[in-house]
Structure formats: C-alpha cells, structure tokens
Amino acid sequence: MGVLSALPIIAAGNVCCCLWVVSGGAVAAYLFQQNRSTPMTPGDGALVGLLAGIAGALVRSLVSIPIDILVAPMEQAMVQRLLDMGTLPPEARDVLDRYGRGGVMGGAYFILGRIVGLMFWIFVGGIFSTLGGVLGALVFKRQTPPGVIDIPPTA
C-alpha cells in the first residue's frame, strides 16, 4: 500500500475508493489467516487492517521523499513553461510563481507538508485499510470441516 501510494502515476489507483489502501488491509488479513490454524474473526481482520494502514502511511511518507526530490526539477520546468506562455490570469501566475520558487520558506513548507501528509494518510489509511481488513477476514476466513467443534485455545 505504502509504496504503490507513493509512486507518481500508480498512486492514481487511490482515486478509485482508496484502492491500494483497501487492498493493503485485505492482503494483511490474508497473510494473518495463513499463519493461523483457526478461523479469523472480522475483529482480527479489522485490527490487522488498521496496523497495515498505519504502517503503510509511514512507508508512503518515507518513500515519497526521494521520489519528490527526483521529480521536483521536472515540476519546476513545467511551471516555468506555463508561466512563459503568458495566457494565465494574474492570480494563477502569482500562485505558480510562488510554487516555482519554493515559496518564502521552501524548506519549512516541505517539512510541514510531510507532517500534514503523514497525518492525512494515517487517518485515511486507518479507516480504509480497516475496512479492507474486515473484507479480507470475511473472504479469506478458513473454514472448519463439518462436524468439528471449534474450541479456541485457552491461555
């Protein structure tokens, strides 16, 4: 989830109902069920999905930093081309000019944007990957054979 959400073009899959986030929770539920002999509950899937969403948000934030640094020169060149065209309204020119220069405090905006982005993805990832974990728990639930009484192990 984290890596796919950080890649520039592939991240567009999240536009479709947070596709990568939900599938990350479902994959976490699948892997959790593979390591258990007893069937998992939807609560187990929700917890595993929530943890996958938080981990995915952290991975996404870490992976997006070098990608954004690599893509920044291309973005600045595109902004400069838009400014050179001269067909933009003055308000749009001001916004693009500030974006192209990195603003007054480019470094501070970069760090603040990373923190806000991390909080956003922890929130969104927590919600949608929990839903993916519940769906994964229902889909990948291990069935007990007929006639077998499932007694959970005692601690």
Res 73: pLDDT? 80
Whether residue 59 is predicted with pLDDT greater than 50 in this model: the reply is yes
Over residues 104-119, mean pLDDT = 77
Average pLDDT score over residue span 79-90: 80
Q: Using alpha carbons, select from 141, 139, 127 the residue that is nearest to residue 22.
A: 127
Between residues 61 and 86, the one the model is more confident about: 61
109 CB-side CA count, 13 A = 9
Q: For residue 66, which amino acid is it?
A: P
Count of residues in the chain: 155
- Nearest CA to 138 among 55, 40, 67? 40
Q: What was the pLDDT predicted at 103?
A: 46
- Please give the mean pLDDT across all residues of the chain: 83
Residue 12's CB: how many other CB atoms inside 10 A?
A: 11
- Tally of CA atoms within 13 A in the half-sphere of 140 that contains its CB: 23
- Give CA–CA dist 41/51, Å, rounded: 16
- 82 within 8 A of 88, measured Cβ to Cβ: yes
For the range 74-82, what are the long-range contacts, defined as Cβ-Cβ under 8 Å and sequence gap of 24 or more?
76/100
pLDDT confidence tier of residue 57, bands split at 50, 70 and 90: very high
Who has greater pLDDT, 91 or 108? Answer: 91
Place of tokens 């899959």: 13
Separation CA 36–CA 143 (nearest Å):
12
Q: How confident is the model at residue 7 (pLDDT cuts 50, 70, 90)?
A: confident
Higher local confidence (pLDDT), 152 or 84: 84
Give buried/exposed letters for 112-131 (b at 16+ CB in 10 A, else e).
eeeeeebeebbebbbbbbbb
Return the percentage of the chain with pLDDT > 70, whole number.
Answer: 86
Judge contact between 60 and 5, C-beta under 8 A.
Answer: yes
Grade residue 102 by pLDDT with cuts at 50, 70 and 90.
Answer: low
